Amino acid sequence: MNNLDLSDTHVREQITQLLNITCERLNLMPRMGELKFTMGVEPFDEGQEKRVLDKAIQKAKRLGLPKDLVIRFIQTQMDIAKLIQSQIIEQLTTQGLPKLTDEEIQAAAKEQSTLRSTIGAKMEPLFLALKPLINELSSPIIQREISRQLDNNRYTGECAKPIIREEIKKSFRKAAGQIH
């Protein structure tokens, strides 16, 4: 990708694939927020974030990706996830739902574990989609294309929300080291 050219549909397709996987992952976050609400836990889980970052670092090393870029990218993805989950928890809190039984809470914990596995399984495809763009990620051309694709309103769920689209754009700029 030394001669960056967006008329090359392959580059656009790589960006599309990267955004699709990002949005697939983020679209799972409302359910995670519901489960955390059910179990009475906060969106931020320091231990879980450490486990996710450790797995990301291992995968990055295996795939030959820069550790610092991967950490910045995954951390910003987790920050977006917490934002989505917090919004869901806030909505559910205002509804004043009845207290759940121990069995319902246990079922939620089991579903949360399954959902975490599903989300975790998206990490490698996400990194594989990111890898060909690594050297050009800070390019204004790539950043504009990411923005253009996010803004064209073809995404659904969480990625259709303007605040989430802006956070995704920021996550790619942070990954590229353009902002902190």
* Best CA proximity match to 60, nearest among 41, 73, 50: 73
C-alpha dihedral sign at 43, 47, 53, 59: negative
DSSP letter string, 19-34: HHHHHHHHTTHHHHHH
The domain locations on the chain are 47-93+101-175
78-115: per-residue pLDDT in tens? 999 999 999 999 999 999 777 788 999 999 999 999 99
- 16-72 pLDDT, tens digit each: 999 999 999 999 999 999 999 999 899 999 999 999 999 999 999 999 999 999 999
Handedness of CA 99, 105, 107, 108 (dihedral sign): positive
Distances (CA, A) of 142 to 6, 14, 39, 67, 117: 8, 11, 41, 21, 30
pTM given for the model: 0.90
